[in-house]
Amino acid sequence: MASKLEEEICCPVCCDIYKDPVILTCSHSVCKVCLQQFWESKGHRECPYCRRKCSKEIFQPNLALRNLCEVFLQERSKRASAGSEVLCSLHSEKLKLFCLEDKQPVCVVCQASKKHTNHKFQPVDEAVLDLKELLMIKLESLQKKLKVFEEAKLSCDETAKHVKTQAQHTEKQIMEEFEKLHQFLRDEEAARIAVLREEEEQKSQMMKRKIEKMSKGFSSLSDTIRAIEEKMRADDVTFLQNYKSTV
């Protein structure tokens, strides 16, 4: 639960630690941006805390309060860094909930803040199960694609081998036939062999390019699957924090 000090240095509008607080004529303080937004929504100037009318449009910054908030946030950050578990960067509370709209783990104080108004939440353990199930479905789709790539590459390898073997066999037959003929057929022999070798080269190059393309796709898809599996082995909170970018 937030400390008493934290309650005292929270803005009455956004319910978060003051950011650039200004002090009103009634002695209450409000975040500068929150005050402007509050006045715009109300259509007239009044204190968000006591509802007393404000005679001025611009107020002096509350430097003492701002410095206190900065020191508090620094100390809280140090305490969070020293702890073994991940805590909320704003409130130093345990991240027990997962915001379904923002796709991020939050604490109970975040849940009640203006930022998450009308948002839906799940306990972290339930969110982990649901989101891992969704990710598994996507992972299965990628694994099926990988299998298709593997089968296609195997087919290309076999075709390339068949083209080379067939060309070698045909070359041998042509050479045996032309050896039996007279000298005037030797030019024809050389011409046919040249055409055959050119066709073999063209087909081999075509299959080589296709195999290279398949290999790149195979490698890229394998890297993607390994990266996803690595993220799924992370601890729950880290997994949830990275879930959006992973998807």
Instruction: Find out whether 94 and 107 touch, Cβ atoms under 8 Å.
Output: yes
- Residue 223 CB contacts under 8 Å (≥ 6 apart), including other chains: none
Mean pLDDT, range 207-218, rounded to an integer: 89
Query: Tokens in use for 177?
Result: 């036939």
Q: Which of 16, 21, 43 is nearest to 31 (CA)?
A: 21
List, for residues 159-204, the tens digit of each pLDDT value.
999 999 999 999 999 888 877 877 777 788 888 888 899 999 999 8
Nearest Cα neighbor of 61 from 89, 33, 94 is: 33
For residue 152, pLDDT over 80 is answered with yes
Whether the pLDDT of residue 83 is over 70: the answer is: no
What does the pLDDT average to over 123-131?
89
More confidently predicted of 181 and 120: 120
